[in-house]
A and B are shown apart, each in its own frame.
Chain A
Amino acid sequence: MNDKLPKPMLDALASAAKPAEHPSSDLLTAFAEQSLTAPDKELVADHLGRCAECREVVFLANTAPEASEPEDELVAAEFRDAPSRPVAPYAVAAMTSPAVVAKPRWWASRWVWATSAAAVCLVVGGLFVGQRFTAVPRARQVALQSEPALGNRYPEKAEPEKPSQNAAPEAAPAAPKMKTQAAAQQASVPRAGRITPTPGEVIGLSDQAPAPRPSKEQRASAQPATPAADSHTIAINGALARPILTAPKASGFAPSSGQPQIDSLNMSMNRLVTSAARTQHSTWRISSQGQLEHLTADGWTRVLADQTAGFRVVSVVGSEVWAGGNDGMLFHSSDNGLQWDRVALANAGAVETGAIVSIRFSDAQNGEVETNSGGNYSTSNGGVTWTKQ
C-alpha cells in the first residue's frame, strides 16, 4: 500500500476522544458475526473506530477457535431429552476442573496418529507373519486327521491335560483390561452415526460369558471341551473365525520345534485383532455377565432378559441379529432385535447342547455356527434349516 495516511489525520485519529460508554459483549459478538442490523452495525463500527479497548477485545476474540461440536451428540441429545435433575456440586467441580479439561496439544495429536499407524503396521505385519507360519500347523492338522476326530480346528492344541485350570491364569490378567475397555465404551457412548456393524462381524466376546465348568470326567475324556478362555471368536470382514489359543505352554501340550514362536505370534496377532474388534462401535454386545445388550437412546438395554443361560456371541448382518450362548441357545431377529425367534440346532434328531462360540454370516442367508463341542452347522437359507458338517 503506497498511500499513507496524512500525518495530521493519523494524529487526530489516535487522539480522538474515547467514548465513555462501550457496547455490550453481546453487541460486539453480533458485530463480529455479522448479525447486526445496518444501523447497529454502523454504531458499533464507529465505536470500534474510536475505542482501542473494544477493538482489542473484538480482534482477540476473533482469533479464538471457531465452534466445535459437543463431544458427544448422543449425550447432548440425552441432556435435551432428560428431565431436570440436580447436579451434585462435586460433579460440577469435577467437570470444571483443569484436570478434566486438558488443553489439546499438537504433540498429543501426533502421538495419537503415530500410535494408530504403529498399531496398523503391527496388525498387518502380524497377519502376514501369521499366514506364513500357519502352514506348519495346517500340515500337522492334515496329518492328525487320521486320528479320532476331536472336533477342533487345531488338534495339536486340543488335548490339554488341564485345559480350564491352566487357561485361567493366562486369561486372568486380560480380564481387568477387558472390563476397563467395556467401561470406557460404556462411558463414551458412541455416536449413532458411527454405529455401522460390518457384515459378518462377530462382536460378542465369549470368554466373558459364564460357562459351566466341565467335570473332571469330561476334561479327561477325549472331548476337547474348548475352554472358555480359549474361545475368543473374532471374525472380521468375513475372515474365518477361529478360537484363540491363549495357553499353549500351560496346557501341557508338547509343541513341535518352533511351535512356541508360532503360538506367540498367533497370540499377539489374535490379541491385536481382538482389541481392534472391541474398539469398533456396535449396537450389540455381550456383557461380562453373559447378557445380551442393545444400545438404544436410553443406553445399553438388556435384551432377552428371560434367558438364564449365558450368551456368548452376537453377530449382526444388517438388521439380522444372531445371538448364541450356552446349552446350544441360538436366537435370531430379523428386525434388529424387535422380535426374536429361538432357533434349534439339531442333527438327526439330536439337539445341540454345546455352547455356541462362533456365529459367522457372510450375508443374511449364508452363515455358520460353531459350538465348543465341535459342532459346526451351516445354513444357506437364513437359518431355516441347518446342516451339520
Chain B
Amino acid sequence: MALTSPAGTLGEQPSAALREFVAEHYGACGAAEVGLDRMALAAMLAQIAAQAGPFDDAASELSFLQSLRLEELVLARACALGSEHAWEVFLNRYRNILYESAYKIAPVESEARILADSLYAELYGVDAKGQQRTSKLLYYQGRGSLQGWLRVVVAQEYINRYRGTRRETSLDAAVEGGAQFAIAQAECVAIDPRVEAAVSAELAALDGNERLLLAAYYLDHRTLAEIAKLLGVHESTISRKLVRITSAARKRIRKRLMQSGMTGRQADEVMEDVEVRDLRVKVRETLEQGPPDSTFYQKKGESQG
C-alpha cells in the first residue's frame, strides 16, 4: 500500500539536492517497509526543508537534510498517514517511553495515566467524532529524536492541562495548603529613565544562551544541575558563566549610570535589592556599647555649670 503524503499537495518542488538525498537514503530509511514511496518521501522532505529554509546553497540544504532523523521521521509520518504496520512498530518502540515520561512528569499516577492515554489518542489521530484521523505525529519533523519529541509533547500537554484545571482549585484548599494571598503590590513608581536605559542596553547585549541562563537561574530558580543537563555542559561551567555574566552586567550598568550623571553611590543604591530583612543590624554590638565618656547631658551640664 503506497501512502500519499498530504505534503504533496502543498506544491513544494523538491530541489536537486533533495532528489539526490532521497535517491541515496530511500532504501536505508525504511520508507519502503512502511509503504512510503519516493515521491511521498521527497514531498515530505521538501515541506520540512521549506519550513526550515531558505538555504543559501545546495550544500547547506543537503547538510540540513542529513541532520534529520530520517528513519524516525519516516516512521512517524507513516503512522500519521495510516500505516498499520508503522503503528505497530511505533507501539513497540515508543509506548513505554510515552508512559514513563507521563509518569515522570505528572506527580499523580492517575493524572499521568489520563495524560498518556489522551496523548495516545492524539498520536493515533482520532478526532472527537471518531471520523477523521489527524495524527499529532504529523508535526514531528525529525529535527530531534522521536522519543525526545514525545517527552516534549507530554510536557506541553501536562502544562496545558495544569493551566486548564488550575482555576478549579478551591481557595479553601489553597489556604489550608499554606498559601497566603497578599495584597498585590502597587506598580513600581517612576523608574528613573537613566536606569531603564542602562538596563535595556545591557539586556540587549546579552546573547540567547546568557539570557536563558539568567532566566532559568534567577527567575525559575532552576538548579545548576538542571541547567547544565539542558545545555549539555558541566555544572561548574554554568556556575562560572553566571558569575561572569552578573559581575560584568553589574559593572557595565554602573558605568552607564555614572556616565549618565549618577554618582557611584547612587548607582550602587539603584542596583541594590535592599529589603529590611536583608539589613544586617549588629544588635549585640550596639547594645553592648558602654556610655560614652562625655554624654550629651554631661556636656550640656558642664557648659551650663
Chain A interface residues (CB < 8 Å from chain B): 1-14, 16, 24-37, 41-50, 52-53, 55-65, 67-68, 70-72, 75-76, 79-80, 82-87, 92, 95-96, 98, 101, 103-104
Shortest distance from the beta carbon of A183 to any chain B beta carbon, whole Å: 20
21 A-B pairs with CB atoms under 8 Å apart are A3-B242, A3-B247, A5-B249, A25-B139, A27-B143, A27-B144, A33-B144, A36-B143, A45-B207, A59-B226, A61-B152, A61-B154, A64-B151, A65-B97, A76-B89, A76-B93, A79-B88, A80-B30, A85-B85, A96-B95, A101-B96
Q: Note all chain A residues with C-beta closer than 8 A to B117.
A: 96, 98
B102 nearest in chain A by CB position? A64
- A76 to B218: give the CA distance in the assembly, Å: 45
Q: Note all chain B residues with C-beta closer than 8 A to A24.
A: 139, 141
Majority DSSP secondary structure for residues of A touching B: helix
| Contact flags B125-153 to A (C-beta < 8 A → 1, else 0) | 00000000000000111111101110111
- A58 to B229: give the CA distance in the assembly, Å: 11
Determine whether the beta carbon of A42 is less than 8 Å from that of B207. yes
Q: Note all chain A residues with C-beta closer than 8 A to B232.
A: 34
In addition to A12-B196, A13-B214, A48-B212, 19 A-B residue pairs with Cβ atoms within 8 Å of each other are A1-B246, A6-B246, A6-B250, A6-B253, A7-B272, A9-B202, A13-B203, A33-B145, A34-B232, A49-B210, A52-B219, A58-B155, A60-B159, A64-B104, A64-B105, A71-B92, A76-B93, A83-B85, A103-B112
Q: Note all chain B residues with C-beta closer than 8 A to A7.
A: 270-273
Q: Note all chain A residues with C-beta closer than 8 A to B279.
A: none
Contact A76 to B92, CB < 8 A, known contacts A4-B273, A64-B154: yes
Scan residues 201-257 of chain B and give those whose CB is less than 8 A from a CB of chain A: 202-203, 206-216, 218-220, 222, 226, 229-230, 232, 239, 242-243, 246-247, 249-250, 253
Determine whether the beta carbon of A25 is less than 8 Å from that of B203. no
Q: Note all chain B residues with C-beta closer than 8 A to A70.
A: 92-93
Complex partner residue of B271 from A6, A14, A44, A52, CB under 8 angstroms: A6
Q: Note all chain B residues with C-beta closer than 8 A to A58.
A: 152, 155, 230
Shortest distance from the beta carbon of B140 to any chain A beta carbon, whole Å: 6
Q: B33 contacts the other chain (Cβ, under 8 Å)? A: yes
Determine whether the beta carbon of B152 is less than 8 Å from that of A13. no
Q: Note all chain B residues with C-beta closer than 8 A to A85.
A: 84-85
Shortest distance from the beta carbon of A3 to any chain B beta carbon, whole Å: 4
Q: Note all chain B residues with C-beta closer than 8 A to A57.
A: 152, 155-156, 159
Determine whether the beta carbon of B35 is less than 8 Å from that of A62. no
Q: Note all chain B residues with C-beta closer than 8 A to A4.
A: 246, 273
Q: Note all chain A residues with C-beta closer than 8 A to B91.
A: 92, 95-96
- A26 to B147: give the CA distance in the assembly, Å: 11
Complex partner residue of A65 from B64, B104, B209, CB under 8 angstroms: B104
B93 nearest in chain A by CB position? A70
B272 nearest in chain A by CB position? A7
A83 nearest in chain B by CB position? B85
Determine whether the beta carbon of B105 is less than 8 Å from that of A60. yes
Scan residues 169-215 of chain B and give those whose CB is less than 8 A from a CB of chain A: 188, 191, 195-196, 198-200, 202-203, 206-215
Shortest distance from the beta carbon of A362 to any chain B beta carbon, whole Å: 41
Tell me the number of A-to-B contacts counted with CB atoms below 8 Å: 241
Shortest distance from the beta carbon of A45 to any chain B beta carbon, whole Å: 3
Q: Note all chain B residues with C-beta closer than 8 A to A29.
A: 143-145, 148-149, 151-152
Q: Note all chain B residues with C-beta closer than 8 A to A41.
A: 208
Q: B100 contacts the other chain (Cβ, under 8 Å)? A: yes
Shortest distance from the beta carbon of B252 to any chain A beta carbon, whole Å: 10
Determine whether the beta carbon of A84 is less than 8 Å from that of B155. no
- A192 to B99: give the CA distance in the assembly, Å: 27
From A9, A11, A47, A98, residue with most partner B Cβ within 10 Å = A9
A103 nearest in chain B by CB position? B103
Determine whether the beta carbon of A37 is less than 8 Å from that of B142. no
Shortest distance from the beta carbon of B102 to any chain A beta carbon, whole Å: 8
| Contact flags B51-78 to A (C-beta < 8 A → 1, else 0) | 0000000000000100100000000000
Shortest distance from the beta carbon of B297 to any chain A beta carbon, whole Å: 43
Determine whether the beta carbon of A52 is less than 8 Å from that of B152. no
Determine whether the beta carbon of A68 is less than 8 Å from that of B100. yes
Q: Note all chain B residues with C-beta closer than 8 A to A59.
A: 216, 220, 222, 226, 230
Q: Note all chain A residues with C-beta closer than 8 A to B249.
A: 5-6, 9
- A7 to B274: give the CA distance in the assembly, Å: 9
Q: B283 contacts the other chain (Cβ, under 8 Å)? A: no
Determine whether the beta carbon of A80 is less than 8 Å from that of B33. yes
Complex partner residue of A3 from B145, B195, B211, B246, CB under 8 angstroms: B246
Q: Note all chain A residues with C-beta closer than 8 A to B80.
A: none
Contact A87 to B211, CB < 8 A, known contacts A3-B246, A58-B152: no
- A32 to B33: give the CA distance in the assembly, Å: 30
Contact A79 to B92, CB < 8 A, known contacts A26-B141, A62-B229: yes
Q: B1 contacts the other chain (Cβ, under 8 Å)? A: yes
Determine whether the beta carbon of B148 is less than 8 Å from that of A37. no
Shortest distance from the beta carbon of A299 to any chain B beta carbon, whole Å: 16
Determine whether the beta carbon of B92 is less than 8 Å from that of A25. no
From B97, B198, B208, residue with most partner A Cβ within 10 Å = B208
Determine whether the beta carbon of B97 is less than 8 Å from that of A68. yes
From A1, A43, A52, A57, residue with most partner B Cβ within 10 Å = A57
Determine whether the beta carbon of B144 is less than 8 Å from that of A30. yes
Determine whether the beta carbon of A87 is less than 8 Å from that of B89. no
Determine whether the beta carbon of A64 is less than 8 Å from that of B159. no
Complex partner residue of B89 from A11, A12, A80, CB under 8 angstroms: A80
- A43 to B1: give the CA distance in the assembly, Å: 40
A11 nearest in chain B by CB position? B188
